[in-house]
Amino acid sequence: MPAFQIETHPLLAGVPHGFFGSNGGAQQFGFGGPGDGEDVRALRAAAADAILAGGALAAPHQVHSPDVVTVVEAWTDAAETRPVADAVVTATPGIVLGIVTADCGPVLFADREAGVVGAAHAGWRGAVDGVLENTIAAMEGMGARRERIAAVLGPTIAQASYEVDVPFRARFAADAGRFFAPAPERGGEARWHFDLPGFILARLGGAGLSEIADMRRDTFAEVARYHSHRRATQAGEANYGRQISMIALP
């Protein structure tokens, strides 16, 4: 089995889970990133096995949507045939839920008492459109209760690394102003630094969750540990890698 960089959080203690790094850039877990598809599939399968021995990976084809898939049995992990969604939930032991990110926020959820877990891909668009709230609702549909759900935000681009422009700021309601810090103008136009982790955590709290934590990892700044879409774009790289985050029932 390959060597992995995996971080866990005590809020999810007792629930098999992990936020994977890039292992110095050597590992990338997304079918949309560089590398042979079969190699990516094998790496993802090995990562799932590291989280739960013999576990079957269920990771959707992500499109920045608010959509959630309830997983009863795992599907074939291939680039073209997976369900299209940005969150997955399950109450079935033996399934390892996975989502890939490269600056967006990976959020892992668990209600230990109900035996329900979830994983969501929350970029700004998905968070605005309700992917986090939809994940919580889908878990409740399987017997979870939001007052018992623990949620942990994994490696995400930090505010200081996320500069945005006027059209981006205009997509948010006026009361979201606290998530925007002024940045130097460019070409005479206003700029801000957007606090994506803070926005995600606020949405989770607003949805009624009280057990919430942040790994406080910056995908953009921590070059040796994470892939970053923004960092790759600024460097003029043709493609970029993705890290993966996983959770399963014990």
Which tens digit of pLDDT belongs to each residue from 66-89?
A: 999 999 999 999 999 999 999 999
| pLDDT at residue number 91 | 98
**Percent of the chain topping pLDDT 70:** 100
Return the CATH class of domain 6-248.
alpha beta
Q: Residue 39: pLDDT above 90?
A: yes
Q: Residue 1: pLDDT above 80?
A: no
Domain residue limits, the chain:
6-248
Residues 58, 96 contacting (CB under 8 angstroms): yes
β-bridge pairing 87-90 and 68-71? parallel
Q: Residue 238: pLDDT above 90?
A: no
Burial state string for 9-20 with b = 16 or more CB within 10 A and e = fewer than 16: beebeebbbbbb
- On whether the pTM is more than 0.95, the answer is yes
1 Cα distance to chain centroid: 24
Using CA atoms, how far apart are residues 200 and 213, in angstroms rounded to an integer?
A: 11
| pLDDT at residue number 223 | 96
Q: Residue 28: pLDDT above 80?
A: yes
Q: Can you read off the two tokens belonging to residue 105?
A: 């926020």
Report CA dihedral (177, 181, 183, 187) to the nearest 10 degrees: -10
User: What is the DSSP track for 60-98?
Assistant: -B--S-S-EEEESS-----TTTSPB-SEEEE--TTEEEE
| pLDDT at residue number 3 | 94
65 Cα distance to chain centroid: 13
